[in-house]
Structure 1
């Protein structure tokens, strides 16, 4: 049971990353499934030791610098992503030639694979940022900050006031459009990837150190789908807070 909620803005942009750690695909409309936006990070590039190629090193991930200069998309009506090299060469993700060209380009054995039992998402199926927080970060850094640097799925237009809008949204829900409901978690931990070069994203001010100083190295929110459906750019977004027991 939730309250009616407070309108907080509209959907400004939607992005999915069909092949993890490659440049994203902007969308006008997309289905929200139990694992996030349809086809988001459904495929990844694996290293020879079974790690998932990324911009950082963890138990699951292995650094493969330069992957964000490649891009991926899922054409309408299709399920298999298309991988595009920085030079414009295109390959279906399930074509062995795609893995071969990656291996040659990066000088190590790499293989494209769909997600199985090990999830490709870093933290949660969905990631949300707001324009207000982007404006606040721009004020700290002294220059505009492109939302694409944070590789979020949903960018919410909450206006231009420079305030970290979503800092007190953790534990609440966002109703998006007519049907979709997402449950908001804690802040999204950031890493070196936000300061690395990305395809088609203008170079901007370094922000990771600023986030460490002002935001506990977090930016945006983790989120989980709670009610599935389709969302579109321009959809209204309403913040709902669960009622306290006995209220």
Structure 2
């Protein structure tokens, strides 16, 4: 057992996100998380990696996004804020890609592998031991949930694969380990670049850190909520 240390939402995929005190979780994950993305003319979405659906777009990490009601507000690298419904040209110009647009999710979610990304403080401590001199912070790894599992430097969440985790009234099923990409070594929101960090994760843990999960039972999660592993939340009659 432990508690929720931090809760993060990323309105636009691969941009910096917003830290929340509470959030609603449903089948799609945290409400509004990665609901928007930058799309190129080929229909691929801006990301930190190249895959069948995603295209690496250098510079996205220099943007930040938050919600004003249901509308994403994007802060450009120069500090100006533009509303998502009128931000296409500004984002395109700042990226140096005149043909991209900010788009809302359609039928297929913008998530890489699963609806929720979960990380523990134990894994951060584990990584810090293997990357001396690097400022280790959850912002480099972009989780939705950071769970406080104490200071022991171990990969606590990897032992939960296939288990259910109850957090407040929400129940998650832990599916698989999370594969990292180049974004872990980029400068993030005041954090300096860490160019060797991805190599360290690759050499010490097969390029993986943290886990992905699906929502079995939705509800509200708040910072400070207790989490419990290996039990199923009781369902209302």
Tell me if TM exceeds 0.5: yes
Q: Within the alignment, does 1:105 sit opposite 2:80 as a pair?
A: no
Q: Within the alignment, does 1:224 sit opposite 2:217 as a pair?
A: no
Which of residues 64, 82, 88 in structure 1 aligns to 2:79?
Answer: 88
Question: Hey, what does 2:38 align to over in structure 1?
Answer: 45
Question: Hey, what does 1:121 align to over in structure 2?
Answer: 111
Instruction: Give unmatched runs, 5+ long, in structure 1.
Output: 1-6, 243-247
Question: Hey, what does 1:195 align to over in structure 2?
Answer: 185
Matches within 5 A, 1:129-208: 129-143=119-133, 144-177=135-168, 179-204=169-194, 206-208=196-198
Displacement of 1:82 in angstroms is 0.8
Q: Choose 199-208 or 122-131, whichever is displaced more.
A: 199-208
Q: Within the alignment, does 1:238 sit opposite 2:231 as a pair?
A: no
Indicate conservation of the 8 Å contact 1:145/1:204, yes or no: no
What's the TM-score, normalizing by structure 1?
Answer: 0.89
Q: 1:128-151: per-residue Cα shift (whole Å, max 9, x none)?
A: 000001101100111441111000
Counterpart of 1:74 in 2: which secondary structure? strand
Instruction: Give unmatched runs, 5+ long, in structure 2.
Output: 233-237
Q: 1:195-230: per-residue Cα shift (whole Å, max 9, x none)?
A: 122233344473211211221111000100111110
Q: Within the alignment, does 1:30 sit opposite 2:19 as a pair?
A: no
Distance 2:196 2:155 in 1: 18
Displacement of 1:47 in angstroms is 0.9
Length, aligned pairs only: 230
What's the TM-score, normalizing by structure 2?
Answer: 0.93
Q: Within the alignment, does 1:58 sit opposite 2:51 as a pair?
A: yes
Q: Within the alignment, does 1:215 sit opposite 2:205 as a pair?
A: yes
